[in-house]
Structure 1
Amino acid sequence: MSTNRRQFLNTIAVSAGAALLAEPAWTQSKAAAMPVSCNQYSWITFFAREGRDWGANPDVSLSEYASTGLKAYEPAFNNAGEVTKLLPYLKKYNLLMPSVYVNTSLHKSDEADKSIESVLAIADALKPAATKIIVTNPNPIKWGSDLNKSDAELSEQAQNMDKLGSALKSKGMTLAYHTHDVELRAAAREFHHMLLATDPKNVSLCLDVHWVYRGSGNSQIALFDIIKLYGKRIVELHIRQSKGGIWQETFSEGDIDYVRLAKNLKDISVKPHLVLEQCLEKASPNTMNAVAAHKIDLVYLQKVFGV
């Protein structure tokens, strides 16, 4: 299986030296807007293919990012200090940050307490940016292994997820549960329990469309059944397309019927925050750079979702 976003996070560090802005006014008039965003992971994969490091020079990286026409950015944070370092660059390039991705480990009580404390500190640091959604994919027992959590660990994780969601809600933020393919193993018991054992008022869903598709054996039936079951809890989409099971360079027609997906969400009056995550893997085509690819992504996204 290709390397996923989480395995990159400990190597990503935003360049130091920029101080937190006293008056980040670039967010104030746009606080309620949630324009199309893109997760940093897709840019990490494009840069890595060119032998470049996305986090080495955020000024250069976000300059290229903004040149695509994207107006919002979804970074991943390990700690509150990384938020402080990023904010000045968002101001410089007039980028909003409606959502962010954070690490958590919630299936063991001692680790969960530390994770919750860290995420709440990140939430406080995000106040100047008017961020509304915090996305998390709780760690598996071990990345890359076939180990599944026990029932007791799943129960512990759900309780801690609900606790974190409640705390974020009190800060005016929404916790969105995210999955990779791991959570779809063993009758998708981890995925379902996280949604059935948590309060919808505290825990929403970030539907990573392709990981659900891939995790269920490349099944659109499973994907659309999940929308039937939990569609009302979807507050964000992570959007990626493949052809023949292989991630493509651009968002376009392919294995997943995104036109149907957009219609299904419209039919239930759900308007999620749209986040591109058109990542590369080893077998992906190699015909263009990140800027060119994301400009194409935005055109097709507008065609499908009308944004």
Structure 2
Amino acid sequence: MSLIIGVQEYDWLQIYEAQGQRHRDHLDEIFAALTECGIEAWEQSVSSAEEAQRLKTLLGKHGLKMPSMYAGGSLHTQDWQKSVEQILQQARWAAPLGVNVVAVNPDPLSWGKVMDKTDGQLKQQAEAMQNLGERLTAEGMALAYHTHDAEMRAAAREFHHMMLATAPQHVGLCLDTHWIYRGAGNSQVALYDIVKLYGSRIRSLHIRQSHNGVWAETVGDGDIDYQPLAQQLKAQNFQGPIIIERAIEAGTPRTMSGVEAHRRSAEWVRQVFAF
């Protein structure tokens, strides 16, 4: 297969936020940097037709692809239909950009507090994901369920229910490796159990690395051994994008520019995931 290496906008959001600026005001220079790094794809959310048109122009200018987009919404409440319609509209705006994978992270009860959804809310959310997946399939796109660490709490009941209560042909997985690893208590065993259970449903990857539990400056060798994942994806003829999602937290080294960090990350990904 042809390896598609992309980057998620969150890293660049952090880079420009540290300078008191909005990264989306600098997409032209960001895209130029990505081309310099050997990265060929970009992933972000799309909130309007105007934004999609601007993206189309800039992506074309720099020869970049956008095979996947990111979205979220409140899918565990009684008015989940409203969020489904909003995500569908965002996907329709993004479709002319070449988007065929829609990575959706259902909203948690709180982004800043440890709060778990009830069984009733989980059932409602799974129904919403199934509905959204069926409708995206009908429009020629694939839904990929994305998570952070919260979904791994309480025996990972939220994660597993979203996978087991939905149809594989309509709800795939955006495997965010490090959030699963961290959410399971820095467990590579848990990560690879999930890959074993649901590997055939992986539609896209978000990859990050850490050293002793702290996010690394680049995606490379570290706490997570990516070789088994690369081997499985090769065996199943994985066709989705591999999205680099570096991130900075307390303790993350800052010894190089964002451009250099992405260049090194892309080189490593290309070596490890060389199919």
What range is the shorter-chain TM-score in? over 0.9
AA partner of residue 135 (structure 1): A
Equivalent of residue 268 in structure 2, options 296, 300, 304: 300
Q: Residue 46 of structure 1 contacts residue 279 of structure 1 at CA under 8 Å; is this kept in 2?
A: no
Q: Could you tell me how far apart the structure 2 residues matched to 1:228 and 1:271 are?
A: 18
Shift of 1:91: 1.6
Q: Could you tell me how far apart the structure 2 residues matched to 1:260 and 1:271 are?
A: 17
Shift of 1:242: 0.4
Q: Residue 79 of structure 1 contacts residue 119 of structure 1 at CA under 8 Å; is this kept in 2?
A: no
Give the equivalent residue in structure 2 for 1:231.
199
Q: Deviations over 1:40-96 (max 9, x none)?
A: 111212333444431223223322233222111111234444323322111221211
SS class of match (1:175): strand
* 1:258 maps onto 2:244 in alignment: no
Q: Deviations over 1:209-232 (max 9, x none)?
A: 000000000000100100111111
* 1:128 maps onto 2:96 in alignment: yes
Q: Residue 34 of structure 2 contacts residue 40 of structure 2 at CA under 8 Å; is this kept in 1?
A: no
Q: Could you tell me how far apart the structure 2 residues matched to 1:263 and 1:33 are?
A: 15
Tell me, which stretches of 5 or more residues in structure 1 are unaligned? 1-31
SS class of match (2:232): helix
Give the equivalent residue in structure 2 for 1:57.
26
Measured at CA, do residues 95 and 269 of structure 1 come closer, stay the same or move farther in structure 2, by a change above 3 Å?
closer
Q: Residue 79 of structure 1 contacts residue 118 of structure 1 at CA under 8 Å; is this kept in 2?
A: no
Q: Could you tell me how far apart the structure 1 residues matched to 2:227 and 2:88 are?
A: 36
Give the equivalent residue in structure 2 for 1:173.
141
Q: TM-score, normalised by structure 1?
A: 0.85
Equivalent of residue 192 in structure 1, options 151, 157, 160: 160
Q: Could you tell me how far apart the structure 2 residues matched to 1:233 and 1:132 are?
A: 15
Give the equivalent residue in structure 1 for 2:68.
99
Shift of 1:303: 1.1
Give the equivalent residue in structure 2 for 1:71.
40
Q: Residue 46 of structure 2 contacts residue 94 of structure 2 at CA under 8 Å; is this kept in 1?
A: no
Q: Residue 231 of structure 1 contacts residue 270 of structure 1 at CA under 8 Å; is this kept in 2?
A: no
Q: Residue 69 of structure 2 contacts residue 94 of structure 2 at CA under 8 Å; is this kept in 1?
A: no
Q: Could you tell me how far apart the structure 2 residues matched to 1:299 and 1:127 are?
A: 29
Q: Residue 78 of structure 1 contacts residue 103 of structure 1 at CA under 8 Å; is this kept in 2?
A: no
Q: Could you tell me how far apart the structure 1 residues matched to 2:108 and 2:269 are?
A: 31
Measured at CA, do residues 56 and 271 of structure 1 come closer, stay the same or move farther in structure 2, by a change above 3 Å?
closer
Q: Could you tell me how far apart the structure 2 residues matched to 1:260 and 1:34 are?
A: 17
Give the equivalent residue in structure 2 for 1:218.
186
Give the equivalent residue in structure 2 for 1:275.
243
AA partner of residue 296 (structure 1): R
Q: Could you tell me how far apart the structure 2 residues matched to 1:158 and 1:82 are?
A: 30
Equivalent of residue 48 in structure 1, options 3, 14, 17: 17
Give the equivalent residue in structure 2 for 1:137.
105
SS class of match (1:249): coil
Q: Deviations over 1:250-299 (max 9, x none)?
A: 11110000112212333444454211112111220011111111110111
Q: Deviations over 1:107-154 (max 9, x none)?
A: 0121x2121111111222123212110001000011111111111100
Measured at CA, do residues 181 and 195 of structure 1 come closer, stay the same or move farther in structure 2, by a change above 3 Å?
same
Measured at CA, do residues 94 and 266 of structure 1 come closer, stay the same or move farther in structure 2, by a change above 3 Å?
closer
Write the mapping of 1:12-27 to structure 2, written as runs, cut at 5 A: none
AA partner of residue 72 (structure 2): N
CA RMSD after TM alignment = 1.8
Q: Residue 68 of structure 1 contacts residue 291 of structure 1 at CA under 8 Å; is this kept in 2?
A: yes
Paired-residue identity, %: 43
Measured at CA, do residues 109 and 33 of structure 1 come closer, stay the same or move farther in structure 2, by a change above 3 Å?
farther
Out of 154-163 and 51-60, give the one that drifted further: 51-60
Write the mapping of 1:111-122 to structure 2, written as runs, cut at 5 A: 112-122=80-90
Tell me, which stretches of 5 or more residues in structure 2 are unaligned? none
Q: Residue 37 of structure 2 contacts residue 259 of structure 2 at CA under 8 Å; is this kept in 1?
A: yes
SS class of match (2:33): helix
Q: TM-score, normalised by structure 2?
A: 0.94
Q: Could you tell me how far apart the structure 1 residues matched to 2:232 and 2:3 are?
A: 21
Q: Residue 80 of structure 1 contacts residue 121 of structure 1 at CA under 8 Å; is this kept in 2?
A: no
Report how many residues are paired: 275
